[in-house]
Copies of this chain bind each other. A is one copy, B any other.
Amino acid sequence: MPPSSKPPADASRTVAPRRRQRLSTEERERQIVDGAIQFFSEHGLTGQMRELATTIGVSHPLVFHYFPSKKALIERVYAEVYLGRWKPEWEHRVKDRSEPFEARLTGVYIDYARTILTKEWVRILIHSALADGYINDHYLTLVGERLLRPIIGEARAELGLDDDREPTEAETELIWGLHGGIFYIGVRHWIYGHKFPENLPQVVTDRVRAFMLAAREIFPREAGKPAG
């Protein structure tokens, strides 16, 4: 269609005819994944492929050239956002008794909060949870085993209740109250639209303090009970 003489080196990057831009496979794929993370966090996993492609600036079949299906793209997003951000050091630090327990817990949760309290992280998790629960089952199992369970163990040790019964309901609820509460800060901001805390470390520190105060009262009460 375009005559031999190329149209003028069209530097006016207006809207009209999309200039076909050829990128390397890696660059384009990166661009699509990044665009998808942004897009799905805003429009949910049911957002349209065409619209996603438009926001990236390409035609929608190109997305299918890089990912065989929408599902495959979504799985890639999961992997990038969730599997990629978990830090094994959290679990290690929780168990490292060279530091006082409350300080360990506070330090870990300040970093955890910084890591997960982002728009993509919070919104995509909720979207996925409502859609099929796929990531949740995976992610929350990880959290429960690698973070919450060790915390219960350390809390018991801290309070001189060292034993390895299964956590009771009250203990489980207490630690989920802390953990879920941190996540809920993100829900309030990125889903409800409330303002984000100005002093996040202080908020987290206060939450951990509240957990410790309650644990000192509730853990001993549970010490003789059968597993919840």
Contacts and interface: CB of A to CB of B under 8 A. Distances in A.
A42 to B, nearest CB: 10
Question: What is the copy number of this chain in the assembly?
Answer: 2
A136 B173 CA distance: 25
A15 interface: no
A222 to B, nearest CB: 10
B44 A129 contact: no
B170 A203 contact: yes
A72 B76 CA distance: 37
A220 interface: no
Contacts of A174: 206, 210
A96 B174 CA distance: 28
Given A169-B197, A206-B214, A191 B129 contact: yes
A140 interface: yes
A188 B198 contact: no
A121 to B, nearest CB: 14
A38 B46 CA distance: 21
Given A209-B214, A213-B217, A214-B209, A203 B173 contact: yes
A112 interface: no
A133 interface: yes
A187 B192 CA distance: 15
Nearest to A214: B210
A137 B130 CA distance: 20
A206 B170 contact: yes
A217 to B, nearest CB: 7
Contacts of A203: 169-170, 173
A176 interface: yes
A115 interface: no
5 contacts: A44-B131, A126-B126, A129-B191, A136-B192, A198-B228
The 6 tightest CB contacts between A and B, nearest first, are A210-B214, A213-B213, A180-B184, A129-B191, A173-B203, A177-B181
